[in-house]
Chain A
Amino acid sequence: MIDLKGVKTLSKQEHKTDRKKEAGKKEEEGGANPKTAEKGKKIKEDLDKLMEKIDDVLEENAEEFVKNYVQKGGE
């Protein structure tokens, strides 16, 4: 039988979340984890570098292409 520790810790964490909720919704929404914010910033920077590459691969006549993309319904 393998170690289910990771799985079992869930109930503890669950209680923590419950308590947090009881303490008030504000904390949950307002108190953003700085590590998360950092991660989000990094993702946005990486995405920013991609923007010119997107123009290179997008079909030129976007409007017409989208309009013409009609399929028969499948299953």
Chain B
Amino acid sequence: MRPRIFGLENEYGLIFSPNGKVYLPVEKVLGYIFEGLIPNSWPSNAFLTNGARFYQDTGCHPEYSTPECDNILDLVMHDKAGERLVEGCLPLAEERLREEGLNGEIYIFKNNTDSMGNTYGCHENYLMKRDVDFWKVTEQLIPFFVTRQIYAGAGKLLRLSGKTHFFISQRAQHMHEKTSSSTTSSRSIINTRDEPHADAEKYRRLHIIVGDSNMSEFATLMKVGVTAVVLSMIEEGYAVPNIELEDPVKTIREISRDTTLKRRVKLEDGRELTAIEIQRIYLERACDYLATVEVDSITHDIVKKWEDTLNQLEEDPIQLSRQIDWVMKKELMMAYMEKKDCGWDDPRILLMDLQYHDVNRSRGLYYLLEKMDMVEKVVDEEDVLSAMSEPPQTTRAKIRGDFIRFAREKNRSYTVDWTYLKLNGYWEETILCMDPFSASDRRVEELIAASAGHRFNR
């Protein structure tokens, strides 16, 4: 399988819970969080030494974009590193609030919905070949994304005609179109935003906004790993015949509503299949494709996990309570309800639905499970901690990270974006980096070497 660049963007939910009754505007809290991450009152948009980008998004959410990765384990690591960076800002921000006489705690949730039905996203980006028919690809991918929630969903409690129900996905109820260019009004299963941050003649971007944010490393691995396999298979001409759904937007909600995974959904050709059966069709086709190419061990492992996961979901989803967010969360809630003799409507259960996603590891329910060794880890915590400052070593992020570290050490101001680097000063050249697969750049190396040789002239 040819290498591919991918990345994740997570928008986090944010609230200050005061011990008194003063609710602070989120803008102010967010400002203090930025101070912790990006010192010297820099603008609220910054690239970090690990090549990632941290910024304030639409609707006042802190957002973390992983650096570009070409390896799924790097991506899982960097997604978690983003959580740790955000968590690391909490003590200082709370201290600043205390200085203003505001006692309380800041909560940051890696989820996608609030209590009023507002949503914020977890966007996936895949670099893909320009010379394939994008519309054909999207037609092929939609049934895959509609059903992927059975292992990638993060679980959500929602009220439906006066009763609270457990849904598989946080985002499913917020999808209104098959494809569109908007990410905020009529959200779609496949977004058409096409900013490849690379040579646009060769590549385009596949921007996916239908997925949930995952706490589980296993779920992130599967969400992006399986998608990358399916995308390669379709790019290489291994189409899945007659897989179109009769009504994808309706179907994604129906599947999200059924935690037994037995519900059959309608295809355009009249067949009625379960989400598991649809995923199996993609899996079989992927195996046809993978038999014709060289497969690295990580991809092999992902396909094996995909098969095992579908089998276990069919048999009994509870078997995946160490791996899949919606299963973990649902089992945790059901155990609590049994113990306390309460129902889905109990405020404590509704709170658990939020606090499962708390990035504060001393408080978050996912991390409570992790501490008890009740979740399957994919990456070592040590690697996550080093990913907070170290970029992936095999992509353009390495060049960006090295450059930013250099500029900060030399105390030089700089301007950086995904495709360029520049030390500020009118005589400085802009270094364009259009190839995301390239991890070295002669000009950046020369710049760093020259400065190490003799004192930098200002």
Rounded to whole angstroms, the CA-CA distance of A44 and B339 in the bound complex is 11
Chain A residues whose CB sits within 8 angstroms of the CB of B335 once the complex forms: 44, 47-48, 50-51
Enumerate chain B residues within 8 angstroms of A62, measured Cβ to Cβ: 347-348, 350-351
Whether B402 is near chain A, meaning CB under 8 Å from some CB there, is: no
Expressed in whole angstroms, the Cα–Cα distance for A65 and B184 within the complex equals: 26
| Cβ contacts under 8 Å, B15 to chain A | 68-69, 71
In whole angstroms, how far apart are the Cα atoms of A6 and B368 in the complex?
34
A72–B336 Cα gap in the complex (Å)? 30
Interface residues of A (CB under 8 A from B): 1-4, 6-8, 10-11, 13-14, 17, 32-33, 36, 39-40, 43-44, 46-51, 53-54, 57-59, 62-63, 65-75
Q: Which residues B50-66 have CB closer than 8 A to chain A? A: 57-61, 63
B321 within 8 A of partner (CB): yes
Q: Mark B4-47, 1 if CB is under 8 A from A, else 0.
A: 00000001011101000001001000000000000000000000
CB distance A4 to B118 under 8 Å? no
Contact of B365 with A by CB under 8 A: yes
Nearest A residue to B115, CB-CB: A69
Contacts A36-B319, A75-B58 known; A7 to B118 CB distance under 8 Å? no
Q: In the bound complex, do residue B284 and residue A14 qualify as a contact, i.e. CB atoms below 8 Å apart?
A: yes
Q: Roughly how many angstroms separate A21 CA and B297 CA in the complex, as a whole number?
A: 33
| Distance of A22 Cα from B136 Cα, bound (Å) | 34
The answer, among B114, B290, B331, for a CB contact under 8 Å with A7, is: B290
User: Which of B246-254, B299-307, B430-438 interfaces with chain A?
Assistant: B299-307
Chain A residue at smallest Cβ distance from B318: A40
Report whether A65 and B58 are in contact in the complex, using a CB–CB cutoff of 8 Å: no
Q: Give the distance to chain A from B281, nearest Cβ to Cβ, in Å.
A: 10
B332 at the interface (CB under 8 A from A): yes
Q: Most chain-B CB neighbours within 10 Å: which of A43, A53, A63?
A: A43
Q: Are A71 and B14 in contact (CB under 8 A)?
A: yes
Whether B23 lies near A66 (C-beta < 8 A) is: no
B119 within 8 A of A: yes
Q: Does B257 contact A (CB under 8 A)?
A: no
B60 contacts A69, CB within 8 Å?
A: no
Q: Which of B345-363 contact A (CB under 8 A)?
A: 347-348, 350-352, 354-355, 362-363
Nearest Cβ on chain B to A43's Cβ, whole angstroms: 5
Distance from A32 Cβ to chain B, minimum over Cβ atoms (Å): 7
Number of interface residues of B (CB under 8 A): 67
Residue from the list B115, B120, B283, B355 in contact with A75, Cβ < 8 A: B120
Contact check, A46 vs B372: say whether CB atoms are below 8 A apart: yes
| B92 is an interface residue with CB less than 8 A from chain A | no
Report which residue of A8, A36, A44, A71 has the largest number of chain B beta carbons within 10 angstroms of its beta carbon. A71
In the bound complex, do residue A50 and residue B61 qualify as a contact, i.e. CB atoms below 8 Å apart? no
| Alpha-carbon separation in the docked complex, A13 to B183 (Å) | 40
Given the contacts A1-B294, A54-B365, A58-B348, A70 and B116 also touching, CB distance less than 8 Å? yes
Closest to A40 in B: B318
Nearest CB in chain B: distance from A31 CB, A? 10
Interface residue B268 (Cβ < 8 Å from any Cβ of A):
no
12 A-B pairs besides A73-B120, A74-B63 with CB distance below 8 A are: A2-B294, A4-B290, A6-B307, A44-B331, A44-B335, A46-B374, A48-B339, A54-B365, A68-B15, A73-B58, A73-B118, A74-B120
Chain B residues with CB under 8 Å of A71's CB are 13-15, 26, 59-61, 114, 116, 118, 120
Picked from A13, A32, A54, A74, the residue with its CB within 8 Å of the CB of B336 is: A54
Quote the shortest CB–CB distance from A9 to chain B (angstroms): 9
- Closest residue on chain A to residue B301 by CB atoms: A6
Contacts of A17 in B (CB 8 A): 314
Cβ B287 vs Cβ A47 within 8 A: no
Which of A13, A32, A50, A68 meets B316, CB within 8 Å?
A: A32
CB-CB under 8 A from B364, the residues of chain A are: 57
Chain A residues, CB < 8 A from B284: 10-11, 14
Q: Which residues of B contact A73 (CB under 8 A)?
A: 58-59, 118-120, 184
B347 near A66: Cβ-Cβ < 8 Å: yes
